[in-house]
Amino acid sequence: MNPLHSLNRIYALMMRYLYLLRGSWPRLLELTYWPTVQMILWGLINQFLAGQSAWVAQAAGILIGAVLLWDVLYRAQLGVSVVFFEEMYSRNLGQLFVSPLRPLELAAALLTVSLLRTTIGVGAAAILAIVLYHYSIFAMGLPLLAFFANLLVMGWSIGLMVVALVLRYGLGAEGLAWAVIFALAPFSGVYYPLSVLPEWLRAIALALPSSHVFEGMRAVAREHVFLLDSFWTAAALNVVYLATGLALYLVAFHTARQRGLLLQMGE
């Protein structure tokens, strides 16, 4: 396999998704709509609770930071799975896979487009948070990059798992793309410390990269310390998550080839 040819094919698919985005204002709006609505809502809650709770008052904008980072995870996952659905909606998978495109190249394009979509969507909400609430998530400095990277990779991994399910079960499983991440929210400790969780739930929480990221985010916001252990734990878990996501995705492609699903994909 020539790596240059491979990069060209990944670039070709990125162009395909960017053409789609450029030509559709509802898709562009959808990128920023939900992160912005969430940020405004949690900004108001944050303002209210800051006067009621010492815990919130101690760290200005902690809930806004939490919701913006949560959206990194959600957008990263949607960025993979929803962009893949576009191929299924347009019955284009058959055309793609009679070209020299390989499944891993498609995955690389999906992940790269997910990074762009997440940066645009959450970036716009983060800038608006500065204007509306005088809260800048960028004030976290370098740790923000570590949190962003870990949540992005976790979102990618779950996105690939959703793609695998949809490849196997068709667009009937599409609803999972929108809902699956919310099942992880209670265990991720987005808006509260993990100590709130009962002991047995904490074990589940610690197996999620996101819970370590949000603990780390609170440590930066409240104590101005970066928990290196939390970062490395999240990164190590992400290696396992991404490997699992990729493996399931490749197995799903193999199964789709066995069962003739690539030609039948559609509604």
Partner 1 sequence: MPSVKSAIEVRNLSKRYGQVAAVDNISFEVPKGGSCALLGGNGAGKTTTLAMLLGLLSPTSGAIRVLGVDMVRNRYAALPRMNFTSPYVDLPHRLTVEQNLDVYARLYGIRHRARQLQRLAETFDLKLLWRRHYGSLSAGQRTRVALAKALLNDPEVLLMDEPTASLDPASADTIRSWLEEYQQRTGATMLLASHNMQEVERLCDQVVMLKQGRIVGRDTPATLARKYGRETLEQAFIHIARQSMD
Q: Residues 6 or more apart from 96 whose CB is under 8 A from it? A: 87, 106
Nearest distance from C-beta of residue 122 to partner 1, angstroms = 24
Q: What does the alpha-carbon distance between residue 230 and residue 206 come to, in Å, rounded to a whole number?
A: 10
C-alpha distance from residue 89 to each of 16, 86, 147, 190, 261 (Å): 14, 5, 33, 33, 14
Q: What crossing angle do the helices spanning 209-223 and 62-89 adopt, rounded to 10°?
A: 150
13 contributes a contact to partner 1 by CB under 8 A: yes
8 contributes a contact to partner 1 by CB under 8 A: yes
Nearest distance from C-beta of residue 155 to partner 1, angstroms = 24
Cβ proximity to partner 1: between 104 and 235 the closer is 104
Cβ proximity to partner 1: between 1 and 142 the closer is 1
Cβ proximity to partner 1: between 172 and 266 the closer is 266
Contact call for residues 211 and 189 (beta carbons, < 8 A): yes
Cβ proximity to partner 1: between 71 and 87 the closer is 87
C-alpha distance from residue 92 to each of 76, 98, 102 (Å): 23, 10, 14
Cβ proximity to partner 1: between 23 and 141 the closer is 23
Contact call for residues 36 and 122 (beta carbons, < 8 A): no
Contact call for residues 153 and 238 (beta carbons, < 8 A): yes
Cβ proximity to partner 1: between 5 and 224 the closer is 5
Give ∠ CA 27-145-178 in degrees, rounded to 5.
Answer: 35
Cβ proximity to partner 1: between 2 and 195 the closer is 2
Candidates 14-22, 159-167, 219-227, 229-237 — which segment interacts with partner 1 by CB under 8 A? 14-22
| Token representation of residue 167 | 């490849």
User: Residues 109 to 148: which contact partner 1 by CB under 8 A?
Assistant: none
Q: What does the alpha-carbon distance between residue 258 and residue 247 come to, in Å, rounded to a whole number?
A: 17
x/- track of binding to partner 1 for residues 63-102 (CB under 8 A): -----------------------xx--xxx-xxxxxxxxx
169 contributes a contact to partner 1 by CB under 8 A: no
User: Residues 206 to 265: which contact partner 1 by CB under 8 A?
Assistant: 257-260, 262-263
Nearest distance from C-beta of residue 94 to partner 1, angstroms = 4
1 contributes a contact to partner 1 by CB under 8 A: yes
Nearest distance from C-beta of residue 2 to partner 1, angstroms = 9
Candidates 3-11, 134-142, 206-214, 216-224 — which segment interacts with partner 1 by CB under 8 A? 3-11
| Token representation of residue 246 | 């990729």
